[in-house]
């Protein structure tokens, strides 16, 4: 039952290739978040899921980025036609969000993506 897990931990790809990043949230957590963290910078919100739906996709940088969640569990972030500026650590977090009050985010260790 541990914490949030992400795979792979590191991914090196060539410019123009597609990549898929996976997040397994804590069991029972209804909310799931994706963030991007460029080297030495803060967290940039990408997308948020409540259950399997995404009420807020406002942070996705371009139409090359997409994400889905199934079974109110695992989520996949897909980046198509990767560019060098996509190089970053991609962090996933989940929270219980039973009601607006209880929503502490628990983060995964992240996936470090390097686009050559």
Whichever of 4 and 19 has its CB closer to another protein, that residue is 4
- Could you tell me which residues come within 8 angstroms of residue 14 by beta carbon, excluding any fewer than 6 positions away? 82, 115, 116
- Please name which of 29, 19, 41 lies closest in space to residue 92, comparing C-alpha atoms: 29
- Of 55 and 61, nearer to another protein (C-beta) is 55
Between 33 and 82, CB nearer to another protein: 33
Please state the closest distance from residue 107 (CB atom) to another protein, in A.
4
Question: What is the nearest approach in angstroms of another protein to the Cβ of residue 81?
Answer: 26
Closest distance of CB 113 from another protein, Å: 13
User: Residues near 64 by Cβ (< 8 Å), separated by ≥ 6?
Assistant: 79, 80, 81, 82, 83
Task: Please say whether the beta carbons of 1 and 27 come within 8 A.
Answer: yes
Q: Which residues bind another protein (CB under 8 A)?
A: 31, 33, 35, 41-45, 48, 50, 55-56, 58, 89, 91, 93, 97, 100-101, 103-107, 109-110
Least distance from C-beta 16 to another protein, angstroms? 27
- Name residues whose C-beta falls within 8 Å of residue 53's C-beta, 6 or more positions apart in sequence: none
């Amino acid at each position: 039952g541990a914490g949030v897990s992400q795979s792979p931990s590191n991914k090196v790809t060539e410019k123009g290739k597609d990549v898929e990043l996976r997040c397994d949230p804590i069991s029972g957590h209804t909310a799931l978040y994706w963030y991007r963290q460029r080297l030495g910078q803060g967290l940039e919100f990408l997308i948020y899921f409540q259950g399997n739906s995404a009420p807020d996709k406002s942070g996705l940088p371009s139409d090359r980025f997409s994400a889905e969640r199934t079974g109110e569990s695992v989520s996949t972030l897909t980046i198509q036609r990767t560019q060098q500026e996509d190089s970053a650590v991609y962090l996933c977090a989940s929270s219980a969000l039973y009601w607006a009050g209880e929503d502490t985010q628990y983060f995964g260790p992240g996936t470090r993506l390097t686009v050559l």
